[in-house]
C-alpha cells in the first residue's frame, strides 16, 4: 500500500475552470463515500478549498487508483476529462507526503504562509476520520502535516502580516474606501473564510459592528454575540445591502447570490455612498456584470491574489526556514515508516526464538520436574534473558538500517537464515504488510 495524491489548483487552471471541481463542505461526506467505494482506493481524504481540490488516498495499485480518482472528478464536475485532465498533478509515496507538508506549511498557497489552509487541512482530516475513511497511513501523514504547519507558523514569521485572503479582503476594502472608520461591513456566508472575514472586520479600527447573514441562524447568532455584531435574516438581505459600505460574500452556493440588478437597487437607495463588494466564494457568488453597476466596485479572487502577491516580500525571506522544517519532518516521517516496515519481521523473529525456547524447556520438562517453583522461575528468567541478549544486537541493526538498501539486504538475510519466509507456512513475508483482506476484516481496521 502507498500514499498518492491527485489534485488541481489555482496554479494549474484559471478559477473558472476550478469551480466545477470544488467539493463544498456539506458535500464532503458524499464525495468520501464515492471515493471509498472505488476498487483501488483504501483510505481517502478530500482537501477542497477555493483554491484547490486534492484527493489523498492509500492505494493498492497506482494506475488503477489514478483512474479511480480521475473518474470521480469527471463525475463530480460533470466535465469531460479532456477539459481538465491535462491540468491535474499527481504525487506518489514520499513526494505525496512532501506535497501535503508543503500545503500545510503554506508554501503552496496563493497567499504565501496563509493561516487558513492549516485549518482547512485539519477540517478535511477530521471529516474523513468521522466518515471512517481514514486509517493508519493517512492518519499518520495528516497528523504530521498538522505539526509541520504549526511549526512553520511558530518557528518562522512566514505568516506575518496579511497572509490570508479573508484579511486581505478587509485590507483591500479599507484601501478602496479610504479607511473603514464609520463604515458598515456585511459578511454573507459564515464558512471558514466568512468567519475569518467577520473577525477581521471586528478588529478593524473604527468600523461599525459587522452585520452577518447566513442560512444557519444558530451559527450566525453565536458569532454575532461573540463579535458584538448583528444578525441579518436571509430575506432581509436587500435592506442590509443598502445599508452596507462593504459586502464580503463567502457563500458555498453553486450559483450567483448577488446580481447586478440587486446591487443596483441597493446603491440607488444610498447614491451618495460607494459600495465595495468582495467575492471570496468559489464558485463565484457575485455576477461578473456587477462591475458595470455605477457606484459599485467589485473585487474578486484575482484582485485579492494580486494584492497579496504585492505584500509577500518579507515572507519570501522565510521560505528557506520553512523548507528546512518540511525536510526535517519528512525525514522523521520516513524513518518512522521505515521502522514500521521491519516491525513485523522483528516481531516474528522474537516469536520464533520464543517458540524455540519454550519447545526446549518443554522437551526437558521431565528432567526439570524435581525443581521447586523458585528454581523453575529462575530457569525461565535465565532462558528469556539469553534469548533477549542474543537478539538485541541483530534487532538494533535491522531497525537502524530500515528503509535503506542495506536494510533490505539484512531483512532478506534474516528471512533466509532463520527460515522466516512465507514459503514455510508462517504467514506473509515478514517486514511486509499482509495482503488486503488477508485477515478477513476490512481493508484497513479503522476504515469503513
Tell me which residues are annotated as active site: 50
Query: In this structure, are residues 111 and 125 in contact, taking their beta carbons and an 8 Å threshold?
Result: no
The residue written with cell numbers 462593504 in the block is 246
Please enumerate in sequence order all residues whose Cβ is within 8 A of that of 264, keeping only pairs 6 or more positions apart, or say none. Answer: 293, 294, 296
Cα separation, 94 vs 4, whole angstroms: 9
For residue 195, which of 274, 126, 252, 256 has the smallest C-alpha distance? 252
Phi-psi region for residue 116, left (φ > 0), alpha (ψ -120 to 50) or beta? alpha
- The HSE-up count of residue 7 (CA atoms within 13 Å, CB side) is 24
Examine residue 83 and say whether the peptide bond preceding it is cis (omega within 30 degrees of 0).
Answer: no
For residue 126, which of 67, 75, 192 has the smallest C-alpha distance? 192
Amino acid at each position: 500500500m502507498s500514499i498518492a495524491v491527485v489534485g488541481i489548483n489555482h496554479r494549474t487552471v484559471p478559477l473558472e475552470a476550478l469551480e466545477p471541481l470544488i467539493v463544498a463542505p456539506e458535500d464532503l461526506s458524499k464525495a468520501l463515500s464515492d471515493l471509498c467505494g472505488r476498487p483501488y482506493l483504501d483510505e481517502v481524504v478530500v482537501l477542497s478549498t477555493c483554491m484547490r481540490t486534492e484527493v489523498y488516498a492509500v492505494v493498492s495499485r497506482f494506475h488503477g487508483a489514478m483512474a479511480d480518482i480521475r473518474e470521480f472528478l469527471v463525475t463530480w464536475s460533470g466535465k469531460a476529462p479532456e477539459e481538465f485532465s491535462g491540468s491535474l498533478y499527481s504525487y506518489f509515496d514520499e513526494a505525496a507526503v512532501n506535497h501535503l507538508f508543503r500545503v500545510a506549511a503554506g508554501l503552496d498557497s496563493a497567499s504565501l504562509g496563509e493561516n487558513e489552509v492549516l485549518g482547512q487541512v485539519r477540517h478535511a482530516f477530521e471529516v474523513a476520520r468521522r466518515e471512517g475513511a481514514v486509517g493508519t497511513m493517512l492518519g499518520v501523514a495528516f497528523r504530521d502535516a498538522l505539526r509541520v504547519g504549526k511549526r512553520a507558523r511558530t518557528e518562522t514569521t512566514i505568516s506575518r502580516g496579511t497572509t490570508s485572503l479573508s484579511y486581505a479582503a478587509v485590507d483591500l476594502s479599507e484601501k478602496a474606501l479610504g479607511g473603514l472608520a464609520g463604515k458598515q461591513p456585511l459578511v454573507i456566508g459564515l464558512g471558514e473564510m466568512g468567519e475569518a472575514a467577520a473577525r477581521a472586520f471586528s478588529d478593524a479600527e473604527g468600523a461599525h459592528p459587522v452585520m452577518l447573514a447566513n442560512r444557519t441562524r444558530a451559527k450566525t447568532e453565536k458569532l454575532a454575540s461573540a463579535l458584538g455584531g448583528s444578525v441579518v435574516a436571509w430575506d432581509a438581505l436587500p435592506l442590509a445591502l443598502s445599508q452596507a459600505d462593504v459586502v464580503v460574500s463567502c457563500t458555498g452556493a453553486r450559483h450567483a447570490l448577488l446580481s447586478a440588478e440587486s446591487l443596483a437597487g441597493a446603491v440607488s437607495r444610498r447614491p451618495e455612498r460607494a459600495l465595495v463588494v468582495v467575492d471570496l466564494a468559489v464558485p463565484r457568488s457575485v455576477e461578473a456584470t456587477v462591475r458595470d453597476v455605477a457606484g459599485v466596485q467589485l473585487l474578486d479572487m484575482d484582485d485579492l491574489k494580486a494584492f497579496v502577491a504585492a505584500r509577500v516580500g518579507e515572507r519570501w525571506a522565510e521560505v528557506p526556514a520553512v523548507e528546512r522544517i518540511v525536510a526535517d519532518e519528512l525525514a522523521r516521517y520516513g524513518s518512522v515508516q521505515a521502522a514500521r516496515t521491519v516491525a513485523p519481521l522483528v516481531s516474528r523473529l522474537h516469536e520464533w526464538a520464543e517458540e524455540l525456547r519454550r519447545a526446549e524447556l518443554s522437551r526437558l520438562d521431565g528432567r526439570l520436574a524435581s525443581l521447586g517453583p523458585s528454581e523453575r522461575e529462575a530457569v525461565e528468567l535465565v532462558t528469556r534473558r539469553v534469548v533477549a541478549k542474543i537478539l538485541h544486537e541483530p534487532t538494533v541493526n535491522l531497525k537502524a538500517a530500515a528503509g535503506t538498501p542495506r536494510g533490505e539486504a539484512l531483512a532478506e538475510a534474516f528471512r533466509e537464515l532463520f527460515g522466516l519466509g512465507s514459503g514455510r507456512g508462517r504467514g506473509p513475508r515478514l517486514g511486509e504488510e499482509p495482503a488486503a483482506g488477508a485477515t478477513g476484516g476490512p481493508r484497513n481496521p479503522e476504515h469503513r
